[in-house]
Amino acid sequence: MQNKTLHFTKMHGCGNDYIYFNCFEERVENPEELSIRLSDRHFGVGGDGIVLICPSKTADARMRMFNADGSEGKMCGNATRCIGKYLYERGGVRKDVITLETLSGIKTLRLTVEDGVVSSVQVDMGAPVLEPALIPVKLPGERAVNATALLAGETRTFSCVSMGNPHCVLFTTGVAGLDLERIGPGYENDPLFPERVNTEFVEVLDPHTLRMRVWERGSGETLACGTGACASAVAAVLAGHCPLNEDITLKLRGGDLVIRYTGETVLMSGGATFVFDGVVQV
């Protein structure tokens, strides 16, 4: 059987890199298997997964994203910004406010455009989910903020937030020196989290600045995680580390994101970058 050719675009947001397919023009079959194959950084294109930019009946476009292990994610903050840039510059959606359908609801993207080029995107990520049963995490009560429980084999204090996907936020010191390859899987697959979890290791530098590293379910450590940055900012506000309704800079391995938790919604601002275009046979 003759191979099918697909065109793709490699993009990243703060180093969180995905392989994007324009499904207004391309038909991608078996995206789970394709993500596993193409994400491999030695035998594939290389990336944290693939993202499909699809038609939508309720928004300007619809996003489907698949992690490097083939699992489908509900939401990716960095990918939403990249899609905003793609739609404006290449997709013919010449609006500075774009709506994007995701598995965690419709997101509103506000674009900053300079000379026809999108320089940054602010995404209204919606309200954080704090109720343990809805995150989900197997903890009692109405919130899991500064909760203490057995986690990854030790008694730890942490906060849990969903931004369309589950996050476990741990405030600690010496974040740069953590061996995430060793400790990350223990958090991701802990029985507390029935759908696995993204884990953020966060160091408070000052009331408006956090340093964060992330172990993402299905992908391992990535250079950035937009929903993780949002979850970390929310947890920092609720734990009293940072002020409500003020900009908080999240310093990630791949760059900085600016997050504001208003008490009702979470606003995420940052850049998006084209890396290269390519063709792959599937």
Going by the annotation, the residues of the binding site for substrate are: 16, 67, 77-78, 165, 198, 216-217, 226-227
Find out whether 260 and 247 touch, Cβ atoms under 8 Å: yes
Find out whether 20 and 51 touch, Cβ atoms under 8 Å: yes
The rounded distance, in Å, linking the Cα atoms of 271 and 256 is 9
The rounded distance, in Å, linking the Cα atoms of 188 and 198 is 6
Task: Establish whether 230 is a catalytic residue.
Answer: no
CA 95, chain centre distance (Å): 23
Q: Is 36 helix (H, G, I), strand (E, B) or coil?
A: helix
Residues present in the chain in total: 282
Choice among 76, 82, 160, 242 that is catalytic: 76
Choice among 14, 23, 168, 225 that is catalytic: 225
The rounded distance, in Å, linking the Cα atoms of 72 and 64 is 8
Task: Establish whether 225 is a catalytic residue.
Answer: yes
The residue type found at 262 is T
Q: How far is CA 189 from CA 63, 68, 115, 215, 276, in A?
A: 26, 16, 46, 11, 34
Helix/strand/coil percent split, the chain, to 5:
20, 45, 40
Residue ranges of the annotated binding site are 16, 67, 77-78, 165, 198, 216-217, 226-227
Helices (H), the chain: 31-39, 77-89, 180-188, 226-238
Tell me whether strands 209-216 and 198-206 are parallel, antiparallel or unpaired.
Answer: antiparallel
The residue type found at 1 is M
- Active site members: 76, 225
